[in-house]
Structure 1
Amino acid sequence: MKKSFGASKEFLLGDDIPWEVVGEGVKRKIMAYDDNIMLVNVHFEAGGIGPMHEHYHSQVTYVVSGEFELTIGDKTRLLKGGDAFYIPPHVLHGAICKKSGVLIDVFSPIREDFM
């Protein structure tokens, strides 16, 4: 049986949530979630890397600011603030931050490995 993580509070104030360092030049805040969906704020310094990886979750990401060289499968594109991308389950992907910025990741279902 799958573990339940419950749900976050209804209102989440960014200033009240601590950053978690997840790599050199990369930190994240887990914002809102329940077992079916999760919102994560990720801040990259220029040169920060989201290494190539894959997971069974669907992912959509909004680029709030900065510039990112993003690879999804065999395609690589430069994305900037105002752009977005979709990553299907089990597709290899990763990012290199070219200009310091913020991504908002949405996962379905919840990323249990982040909890």
Structure 2
Amino acid sequence: MQSFGASKEFLIGDEIKWEVAGEGVRRKIMGYDDKIMLVNVEFSKGSVGALHEHYHSQVTYVVSGQFEVTIGDDKKILKGGDCFYIPPHVLHGAICLEEGILIDVFSPIREDFMKTGMNY
């Protein structure tokens, strides 16, 4: 695993640029070190976080909006204040039903995000 060091201790959201992560989806890489990463993800209504899997553990907090979330064979509608956990190597994705924001936490760091983002 490549090391990216650690983020600054204080990160000001308005000073971090949004990165396009898909049609109607953008993200900001926030705090991180090699073991953990927090990412803000903004979705417009109708946008899709395509089904995918990765070796990272993931916990996601729904800040606002409404999402149809698929984890493995299960599907649920989640709204602001809800949360979900995705174990490593489990197929998952989301459809945004109402514009909103998710906060993703990954362990370990998503190296692929760091290689494309580099805007912090």
Fold match (TM-score > 0.5): yes
SS at match of 1:32: strand
C-alpha distance in structure 2 between counterparts of 1:3 and 1:80, whole Å: 35
Gaps of 5+ in 2: 115-120
Paired position in structure 2 for 1:6? 5
Given residue 47 of structure 2, which amino acid in structure 1 is its aligned partner?
A: G
Residue 25 of structure 1 deviates from its aligned partner by: 0.5
Give the 5 Å matches for 1:1-115.
2-115=1-114
SS at match of 2:84: strand
Aligned residues: 114
| Structure holding more strand per residue | 1
TM-score with structure 1 length normalisation? 0.98
Gaps of 5+ in 1: none
- % identity of equivalent residues: 76
Any runs of at least 4 consecutive aligned residues in structure 1 with deviations exceeding 6 A, and if so which? none
SS at match of 1:6: coil
Residue 3 of structure 1 deviates from its aligned partner by: 1.3
SS at match of 2:112: helix
Please give the per-residue CA displacement for 1:8-54, whole angstroms capped at 9, x wherever unaligned: 00000000000001111000000000000000000000001000000
| CA RMSD after TM alignment | 0.4
TM-score with structure 2 length normalisation? 0.94
SS at match of 1:71: strand
